[in-house]
Structure formats: structure tokens, C-alpha cells
Amino acid sequence: MAYKKKRRKKKYGLLTVIVAIIVALLGFLYSQGYLDGLLNAEDPVVPVEGQAEFHFIDVGQGDAALIRTADGNVLIDAGTNAAEDDLIAYLKAEGVTKLAYAVFTHPHEDHIGGADAVLEYCQVENVILPEKTATTVVYNRMMDAIEAEGANVIIAVPEATYTVGDLKLTILGPVGSDYKDMNNDSVVLRADFGESSVLYTGDAEDVSEAEMLARYRLNGKLDCDLLKVGHHGSDSSSTEAFLRAVSPELAVISCGEGNDYGHPKQVILDRLDALNVTYWRTDLLGSVVVVSDGTTLTKKAAA
């Protein structure tokens, strides 16, 4: 009896040591950040209920924007192929693994270059595309990735609407199709969250702007609080009449530092200044995040 008792005591002693070692090891791994991925495997930074975040991701000379709400995420464009690792790292850091909608505004490489990587990394429910197609390698790679993902493909039709919880998406352009310059085929998307609104114009130029003006002039559908300035701030876009119709208080220009195109053009910056628009540039600031509480849009301080 006494022998048995002694043995059991010894066994517990050994167990205590093993448990202590495991706890110490886990504590060390946690303190070194090795367990972050494990602990935060699914959406670690879910946006606050009642808020929407509008991210303009720095992908150099290209466009990539993300909308986050507690009910789901929307991506508008995926930047260049060269920046796809940066884009995926951004989504990873945000904990975004699912997209309710991915909008690829038009088939140019600086908008769809990272599309295949996004479709591989994220679970994508719906993809919104313009009617315009292309025969380029990057376009085919995107279409193959869409097929492999099994995402639902939606061809943009003006005034079609989609919702993600309280976020409402409305297609405003292109009004026509198969333009001489593919930039005008860009899907133009309006996002409404409560009383705040953001307009994403892709690379739509003056031709598309004029058609949207004619179609929406009387119903105020272009009137938004924040404008993603068309075509990286090129003077092919952002006509004064269009800017007046949108009448944004805020704007974001998505372009690369020291880019070869001279984007944004000074004439566009002057035009924004003359209309008292506060604008932020991704080439100078990196990624820009603006948060809506349903009423007011506020720029988040850089991390």
C-alpha cells in the first residue's frame, strides 16, 4: 500500500514538470509572436458593427481598394502583378480571407495584375466585370482564376445594385460599352453606407464622365462625399463638370511614387483645390484608410 502511494506521488511530480515545461514553452512562443497566425486564423480585425472602412491600398502605380464592414468585404481592383505580394500581405494583415464582391474595373494590368493572387488567397463569392474583354496573358490568368474559384460572374449594368449588410453598391458606369480607349470601359461603382458615400471611377475618362453626367444629372446619383479620382489623377479624367456633379469633400488619388506618367497632373490638383476638396495621395502617404460611422467620414491616422 505504502509502495503504491509512493509511486503515484512520483508520477504526479513528473506530470507537473511536463505541464510546467509546456506552459513555459507556449508562453515563450506567444511572447515571440509565433502563435499569432494560429490564434488569429479568421478575420482578427473585424470592423466595428455600424462602421465601414474604406481602404485605398498602396500598390504603386495602380488601383486597389477594399471596403470592410462587419458583414463582409468588397475589393475594387487588385493592382499590378508586381505589387501582388504587397496586396496579399495587406489582406493578410487585415485578416481578410473572404470577399463578398471583387470588382475588376477594366482589363488593364495596373488594375487586374494581382487578381489571380487574390482569387487564390481569398474565398470570393461574386466577381463584377465590365462587358469589355481582352486577349492579354494577365486577363486570361484572371479569367482562369475566376473559373477555378467558381465565383459568380456579374457583368456590370448601369444602376444595378448589390448589398453587403448595410453597405449598398450601385453600378453607375460604364453607360455604354466597347469604347475606343479601354479606360472608358471602367466599371464605376458607388458605395453607400448610411449617409456617407464613396465613388470609385477606375480609369474612366472624359468620354465616360460625360455620358454619366447626361444620365444622372437630374437624379444626383453622382453626388458623393469621397471620390477615388479617375485614372490616377490623369488629365484625361476629372473634368470640371464631372467634379462639380460629384461635389466630393474628400478625394483619394491612387498612384505610384515618381511614376512615368506624371500622375497626378497639376491641373487636376488645382481643380480639386479650387473646389475645396481635401485629397490624399497614395504615392506620398502609402495606404489611406477612411472610416465611416454611417454619418461622417474620418481619415484613420497612419499606423
Q: Residue 77 interacts with Zn ion (CB under 5 A)?
A: no
Nearest distance, CB of residue 226 and Zn ion, angstroms: 19
Query: Using CA atoms, how far apart are residues 75 and 64, in angstroms rounded to an integer?
Result: 7
Nearest distance, CB of residue 232 and Zn ion, angstroms: 6
Complex with Zn ion: residue 253 or 297, whichever CB lies closer = 253
Q: Residue 203 interacts with Zn ion (CB under 5 A)?
A: yes
* CA dist 258 → 18, 54, 61, 162 (Å): 58, 25, 9, 37
- 72 residue type, one letter: G
Nearest distance, CB of residue 241 and Zn ion, angstroms: 22
Complex with Zn ion: residue 104 or 193, whichever CB lies closer = 104
Which grid cell is 75? 475589393
Tell me, residue by residue from 101 to 140, as one string, x for binding to Zn ion by CB under 5 A and - for no binding.
Answer: ---------x------------------------------
Strand, helix or coil at 168? strand
Nearest distance, CB of residue 81 and Zn ion, angstroms: 13
Taking CB under 5 A as the binding criterion, the range among 141-149, 203-211, 279-287, 295-303 that sits at the site for Zn ion is 203-211
The owner of cell 492579354 is 136
Q: Count residues contacting Zn ion (CB under 5 A)?
A: 2
Query: Using CA atoms, how far apart are residues 293 and 136, in angstroms rounded to an integer?
Result: 41
First to last CA, the chain: 65
Residues in the chain: 303
Binding site for Zn ion (CB under 5 A): 110, 203
